[in-house]
C-alpha cells in the first residue's frame, strides 16, 4: 500500500503513480472540501481526485466523512474517521519544546501567507495589514517567508524594513511549534496551521475567503477574515485589545484529533 498525506501536487502524483502500478492507496486527510475548485487552488481538485483513487480513506473528522459519503457515487474506498496525523506530530513536538522564558514584553503575532489565489493584490493587502499592526508599537510580528518568489518578493518589499517585523526563511518544525506556542495571535492562510493552532489554544485569523476546515470555525478557534486590509486589522486589534474576546478564541480544542490518528490508521490497515 502507498499512503499519501494531504492534497499537494506531490500527494496527487504519488496516488496516481500507485494507481497506475496497481498498488492500493490509503489517503490520510481524506474528505476535506471547500467546494470551490479555485479556493484553494490546486489543492481542492487534488484532494477530490485522490479520494476517487483511494482504497482506504482516513477522514480526520465526522464532517469530512460526511463529505465522502455525499460523493459515494465516485468515492469507492472504505472510509474511517481517524483524526489527522498532523496533530500526532504537533503534540509529540510540543512536549519536546521548552517553555519560553522572558521575551520583549510585546505580543507575538505569527504571520504566514502563500496561497496561490492571493498572489498579487491579496498578498499586498495582507502586508498592508501587517504594517498597520506593527505600527501599534506593542506587537512583534514573525513572518516565515514562503520560498515561492512571487510571494517572497512582495513580502520582502513591503515588510523588510519595519523594525517590529522579523522575516525569516522556512522554519524547522520544532521552531514553528515553539513560535505558535508563544504567539498571542496567528494570521495565516495555511491549512495545517488551522488544525494545529486550536490544539495549542492560539486564536487564528484565516486569510482566506473559504476554508475546508469548518470544524475550526465551529470550535471558535478560527475566524475567516479574507485578505481585506481593514478587516484583518479590525479583527486583530479586537483580539489584541479585548481580553475577553481573546480568551473566547484561546480555549484549546481538538476537532482534528487528540494525537492517536496514527494508531487508528494502522488498525484500519491491519
Which member of 33, 39, 43, 184 is catalytic? 43
Does the active-site annotation cover 29?
A: yes
Catalytic residue among 116, 132, 156, 182: 116
**Which residue in the list 114, 115, 208, 213 is annotated as catalytic?**
114
The C-alpha cell at 102 is 522572558
Catalytic residue among 27, 29, 140, 213: 29
Q: Where are the alpha helices (DSSP H) in 142-241?
A: 149-159, 173-182, 191-200, 214-218, 229-241
Burial level of 6, CB count in 10 A (0-12/13-18/19+)?
Answer: buried
Question: Looking at 33, 47, 146, 184, which residue is catalytic?
Answer: 146
Residue pair 251/201 in contact (Cβ under 8 Å)? The answer is: yes
Q: Based on the residue annotation, tell me whether 7 is a catalytic residue of this protein.
A: yes
- How many other C-beta atoms lie within 10 A of the C-beta of residue 162? 15
Contact 2, 30 (CB under 8 A): no
Q: From the candidates 7, 44, 51, 209, give the one annotated as an active-site residue.
A: 7
HEC assignment per residue over 64-94: HHHHHHHCCCCCCCEEEECCCHHHHHHHHHH
Clarify whether 27 is annotated catalytic.
Answer: no
Cα R_g (the chain), whole angstroms: 19
Residue 125, phi-psi category: left (phi > 0), alpha (psi -120 to 50), beta (remainder) = alpha
Task: Tell me, yes or no, if 114 is annotated catalytic.
Answer: yes
d(CA 36, CA 259): 29
43 counts as catalytic: yes
Task: Please give the positions annotated as active site.
Answer: 7, 29, 43, 114, 116, 146
Amino acid at each position: 500500500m502507498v499512503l499519501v498525506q494531504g492534497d499537494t501536487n506531490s500527494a496527487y502524483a504519488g496516488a496516481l503513480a500507485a494507481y497506475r502500478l496497481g498498488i492500493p492507496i490509503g489517503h490520510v486527510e481524506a474528505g476535506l472540501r471547500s467546494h470551490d475548485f479555485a479556493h484553494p487552488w490546486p489543492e481542492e481538485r487534488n484532494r477530490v481526485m485522490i479520494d476517487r483513487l483511494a482504497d482506504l480513506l482516513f477522514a480526520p473528522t465526522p464532517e469530512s466523512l460526511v463529505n465522502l459519503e455525499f460523493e459515494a457515487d465516485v468515492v469507492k474506498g472504505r472510509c474511517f474517521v481517524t483524526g489527522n496525523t498532523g496533530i500526532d506530530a504537533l503534540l509529540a513536538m510540543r512536549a519536546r519544546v521548552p517553555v519560553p522564558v522572558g521575551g520583549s514584553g510585546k505580543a507575538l503575532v505569527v504571520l504566514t501567507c502563500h496561497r496561490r489565489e492571493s498572489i498579487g493584490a491579496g498578498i499586498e493587502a495582507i502586508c498592508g495589514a501587517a504594517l498597520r499592526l506593527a505600527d501599534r508599537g506593542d506587537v512583534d510580528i514573525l513572518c516565515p517567508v514562503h520560498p515561492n518568489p512571487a510571494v517572497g518578493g512582495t513580502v520582502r518589499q513591503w515588510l523588510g524594513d519595519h523594525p517590529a517585523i522579523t522575516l525569516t526563511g522556512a522554519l524547522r518544525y520544532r521552531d514553528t511549534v515553539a513560535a505558535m506556542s508563544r504567539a498571542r495571535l496567528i494570521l495565516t492562510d495555511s491549512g495545517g496551521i488551522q488544525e494545529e493552532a486550536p490544539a495549542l489554544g492560539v486564536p487564528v485569523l484565516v486569510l482566506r475567503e473559504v476554508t475546508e476546515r469548518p470544524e475550526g470555525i465551529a470550535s471558535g478557534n478560527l475566524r475567516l477574515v479574507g485578505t481585506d486590509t481593514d478587516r484583518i486589522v479590525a479583527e486583530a486589534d479586537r483580539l489584541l485589545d479585548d481580553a475577553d474576546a481573546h480568551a473566547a478564541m484561546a480555549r484549546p480544542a481538538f476537532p482534528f484529533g487528540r494525537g492517536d490518528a496514527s494508531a487508528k490508521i494502522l488498525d484500519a490497515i491491519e
